[in-house]
Structure 1
Amino acid sequence: MLRLPASPNKDKSLSTTAFELVTLINFYHEVVAQNHPNLDVEELINIRTHNREHLQKLIADLFPVLIYALIRRLWRIIVTGS
């Protein structure tokens, strides 16, 4: 779980946007998720906090599959018109 800096970005190590994002993630975990957990929000947070290198490898592995699916869909549209 992400933790807030002791004071609002006193050391300027985070941009304003990053600081706000960390604040919102912490608020979700500490307040909202206790009574109203949301799988979609959890997944978005996991993507944001996931290891960037691993995520890049995952996307690189899935890219050919996504391109293949797109080409098949486009071919179907061209051939059948729907």
Structure 2
Amino acid sequence: MEKGKNLQKEVTDNKIVYSYHGVASNALLRKATINDTLNGKTSPKATTLISIVEAMGFTMNEFGKEFDDISDDEVKIFLNENS
């Protein structure tokens, strides 16, 4: 969690936006891996997902709660906007 406080981030529309470079550095992953994962271009392995979540300063429990709150309608909107 402490690492997440040091990430380059800004607030846009009341949401925190993290720098892909900062997340990549903290997760010890390539920036392209972060980009592809967060933009839904690839489905990451569990270890990669855990690294990204923790690099952003969240726990897997927090991630799980957010993931569970995603509605089917939100998934459909995302798929329509990114297909």
**TM-score, structure 1 length as denominator?**
0.30
Greater helix percent: which structure? 1
Computing the radius of gyration from Cα coordinates, the structure with the larger value is 1
